[in-house]
Homo-oligomer: A and B are copies of this chain.
Amino acid sequence: MYIQFWVYFIYDKRLHEKEMVGLTYAMIGTWRMAYEGLAKALTDLQNGGSSNDAVETAIKEVEDYPFFKSVGYGGLPNAQGLVEMDSAFMDGDTFAIGAVAGISDIKNPISVARKLSHEHFNSFLVGTGATQYAMANAFEARNMLTERARKIWAKRLREISEKNLSPYDGHDTVGVISLDQNNSMAVGTSTSGLFMKKPGRTGDSALSGNGFYVDSEIGGAAATGLGEDLMKGCLSYEIVRLMGTGLTPQQACDQAVYPFVDKLKQRYGKAGEFSLVALNNQGEWGIATNVEFTFAVGTEKQETQVYMANPGPQHTTLIKPVSREWLTAYAKRIKAPID
């Protein structure tokens, strides 16, 4: 039995190295908002850049853009008007993880998470401890609340009291997975979390196996949606595990996500919105979602493009490129005046 296993391992290793000859690179990111960051980081990958750098580059781009209202600068605040953010970084070669939850006043949470991934102890910091760590390590401070986000928050407060609306709405995490020409993979996430959340609320984005997971010998996955429900299923870990059994990223996404959504409806009585993206170490990708969901992908063979996914029949996913009209309407919508 021992001998048999060893022989298999040798064989597998050689096969793996053979496949690695065809060096390639690829990135996938959640939502339309990942597009510009991905395009920029893919140029770096093309020039031999690392997955670790590419993930940070792509996510910083999203964090810095003021009109994406669920990540970084311009992100929507909590019930008290403070922008509290969650972010994580994972290196698929070493499994090193860094994460922050409930960090505030810091320009780039993803950079803090990446730096923390180099620590063997104290690599996941929450609340004021996370913010103080970032300040003490000379990360750039910024008031992350834009005037636009403050207006949206104030308007929502009025609607909640006047129309008796549920306060909670919007929870779009940017999650980015990267494969570089050295066959190294990485994943990162960043979000300002649930709009109007209670102070200190965190979701799945900083939680390993839930919001993200990556193993360079297999592939990676990342999640966006209602973190409170996503963490009931460990779906990012499960997708990577399934890819490790030989499934394509699309098969792994379909088989991990849709049965779990059914199970959650049966056992918990309901299921929030879920969208998962996956990329394997051959540059193949997949999606599963129970709601209309946009994402961006770029590979060596395929220029960066925005797609739209929807749940299809019998636990499948329908995917099509978004139209020029959709993109134009999106660009207009995110900058529309707030009354």
Contacts and interface: CB of A to CB of B under 8 A. Distances in A.
A96 B232 CA distance: 7
Given A200-B126, A203-B124, A95 B267 contact: yes
A208 B228 contact: no
Nearest to A96: B268
Interface stretch (A41-49, A138-146, A191-199, A293-301): A191-199
A51 interface: no
From A96, A132, A198, A238, residue with most partner B Cβ within 10 Å: A198
Interface stretch (A24-32, A68-76, A115-123, A157-165): A115-123
B97 A126 contact: no
A102 B127 contact: yes
Contacts of A124: 201-203, 227-228, 231
Contact of A95 (B127, B133, B232): B232
Nearest to A123: B228
Contacts of A226: 121
Main secondary structure of the interface of A (DSSP, over half): loop
A237 interface: yes
Contacts of A101: 101, 126, 202
B232 A200 contact: no
A133 B127 CA distance: 14
A54 interface: no
A121 B268 contact: no
Contacts of A106: none
A58 interface: no
Contacts of A283: none
A209 interface: yes
A129 interface: yes
Given A129-B102, A202-B124, A209-B237, A267 B197 contact: no
Interface of A: 2, 84, 93-97, 101-102, 119-130, 132-133, 168, 194, 197-203, 207-210, 213, 226-228, 231-234, 237-238, 241, 264, 267-270, 272, 314
